Amino acid sequence: MKSKLSLLLAIIICITAFSGCSNNGNDAGDKETLTVATSGDAISLDPVSTNDNQSSNVMSQIYEGLVEIGEDNKPKPLLAEKIDQKDDVTYTIHLKKNVKFHNGEEMKANDVVFSLKRAVDAPNVKHLFNSIDKENVKAIDDYTVEMKLKEPYAGIIYSLCHPGAFICNEKAVKEGGDNYKMNPVGTGSVKFVSWIKADSVVMERFDDYHGEKTQYKTLKFRVIPEPTNRLVELESGGVDISYDIAPNDISKVTENTNLKLVRGQDYGTTYLGFNCQKKPFDNPKVREAISYAVDMEGIIKAVFLGVGKTATSPMPQTLKFSVADQIKPKTRDVNKAKQLLKEAEFEKGFKTSLSTNEKKERIDMATAIKEQLAEVGIDCSINVLEWSAFNDLLKNGKQDMFEIAWIADTPDPDSFMFPCFHSSAAGEGGNYCYLKDQEMDKLLEDAKKENDEAKRAELYKKAQQHAIDISAWVPEYNGELLVGHKKEIQNFKVSPFGWYKLQLVKKAE
């Protein structure tokens, strides 16, 4: 079996697609233009209508929040001058003055109230903001907002750093209606110009920006799904920066004297998920059987070539209270998998499907998983979808099995565990497994409002162990962020969130 798997993965990894690699006018050669290659297109440019990295990569240039995560991994003021906490549930937000939106209007307290109330109601991000008492968010004056919570939430200031809390201009949102997601208006260092779906997003310097202005005049994101094509564009000068460098392309970047590779750990876990509301995945024994049927450690080593590590727990080791470093990868046991299927009354196996997006490494993993599941009688087809279509599938509960990553929305563990496993987050909220488990819900609710660090750590430890015990999903991979850029690019830094703010990036003279 090992030789078959090795041969299969060797063939997969060596396949290269050479289609669709136009250079779109070679804007990257222009000192006034910063061109970035991304692996997928944004879904929406309205902060509350999505919660995915491709959209955040664009929105984090256009919008800003009241606070942002600093280099010390702690919140620092951005659109807020300061935030005072009066008691366990009451916060006073003091706003910066003379901050302009891209439509020329000054940011006022009413815009902040409007934006926060939208976030509370939004299915994609409500797990971060549903502790806010919407009826008690109010403008005290033009530059002061009072915000009250329904109950204490230890992670609320971290949540305000998330794109879902980016501040929008109330007038622009209301005038834009359903089209606002295609015509965003923020306070960021660049303003929106155009968006050609599945091709490119163009932004330009905002001359009335309240902070340090961009060196470049134009910022362009080009959508190039195939990793080989992104690398070719970087090597040939078609782009200045290329996100998501493939593991087997690392040496091509590091050995090129004109390029630089930037690496960093993220806050995410790629996982093999199950729709727990669909038979046979509503049976924990079936889910556990699949966890024993696959050699996840072998697959990860073959596909990622030593980049990142095999995941052992739902929450990555980069987040506090993770138990990942205390658990070893599960050893494949075909006999145990067959026994569990027999106990679940699926001794002869069953037919199912495994859905994923176009990311090459996920397709490679899915191909190996399909072959290994066949050995225990599970006939699995692979369903590869474009990113937005894949998201629609998950949010509408149409999937059987699936592969995706969840990256924590903030450094607080609540932003990982609650959306992935709480029943209220099923579907659009991030619980793509549609898990409904009372014990899990109680643990996560208690952890969310607990201010004592030791007690909170114990609650999250129990929640992670419970997810493992019920095989809610199979952890696959804790990744590394790999970004390549031209050597003249300065000030680019990876972020553990997997999306990058480019305001201070410069091209050397």
Query: What are the structural domains, with CATH classification, of the chain?
Result: 29-63+188-258+487-508 (3.40.190.10), 70-167 (3.90.76.10), 268-479 (3.10.105.10)
Residue 140: is its pLDDT beyond 50? yes
Helices (H) and strands (E) in the chain, counts: 16, 21
Give the model's pLDDT for residue 509: 76
Give the model's pLDDT for residue 243: 97
Give the model's pLDDT for residue 127: 84
Residue 19: is its pLDDT beyond 50? no
CB atoms inside a 10 Å sphere around CB 362 = 25
Give the model's pLDDT for residue 238: 97
Which region among 99-108, 301-310, 363-372 has the lowest average model confidence (pLDDT)? 301-310
Q: Is 179 exposed, middle or buried (0-12, 13-18, 19+ CB in 10 A)?
A: exposed
Rounded to whole angstroms, how far apart are CA atoms 377 and 368?
A: 15
Question: In the structure, what pLDDT confidence band is assigned to residue 29 with cuts at 50, 70 and 90?
Answer: low
Give the model's pLDDT for residue 373: 98
pLDDT in tens, 304-356: 999 999 999 999 999 999 999 999 889 999 999 999 999 999 999 999 999 99
Give the model's pLDDT for residue 71: 86
* CB neighbour list of residue 330: distance below 8 Å, 6 or more residues apart: 291, 292, 296, 297, 312
Residue 25: is its pLDDT beyond 60? no
Question: In the structure, what pLDDT confidence band is assigned to residue 26 with cuts at 50, 70 and 90?
Answer: low
Query: Mean of the per-residue pLDDT values for the chain?
Result: 93
Residue 177: is its pLDDT beyond 50? yes
Residue 419: closest CA among 128, 157, 224: 128
Which region among 19-28, 103-112, 210-219 has the lowest average model confidence (pLDDT)? 19-28
Residue 99: closest CA among 117, 77, 80, 116: 80
Q: How much of the chain, in percent, has pLDDT values that exceed 70?
A: 94
Residue 419: is its pLDDT beyond 50? yes
pLDDT in tens, 259-297: 999 999 999 999 999 999 999 999 999 999 999 999 999
End-to-end, the C-alpha distance of the chain in Å comes to: 55
Residue 132: is its pLDDT beyond 60? yes
CB distance 500 to 60 below 8 Å? yes
Give the model's pLDDT for residue 409: 85
Rounded mean pLDDT, 418-424: 95
Question: In the structure, what pLDDT confidence band is assigned to residue 28 with cuts at 50, 70 and 90?
Answer: low
Rounded mean pLDDT, 223-240: 96
Rounded mean pLDDT, 448-456: 91
Residue 24: is its pLDDT beyond 70? no
Question: In the structure, what pLDDT confidence band is assigned to residue 87 with cuts at 50, 70 and 90?
Answer: very high
Residue 434: closest CA among 323, 311, 281, 313: 281
Give the model's pLDDT for residue 302: 95
Residue where the block lists tokens 């204490």: 152
Question: In the structure, what pLDDT confidence band is assigned to residue 21 with cuts at 50, 70 and 90?
Answer: very low
Residue 1: is its pLDDT beyond 90? no
Maximum CA extent, the chain: 70
CB distance 43 to 59 below 8 Å? no
Rounded to whole angstroms, how far apart are CA atoms 115 and 184?
A: 13
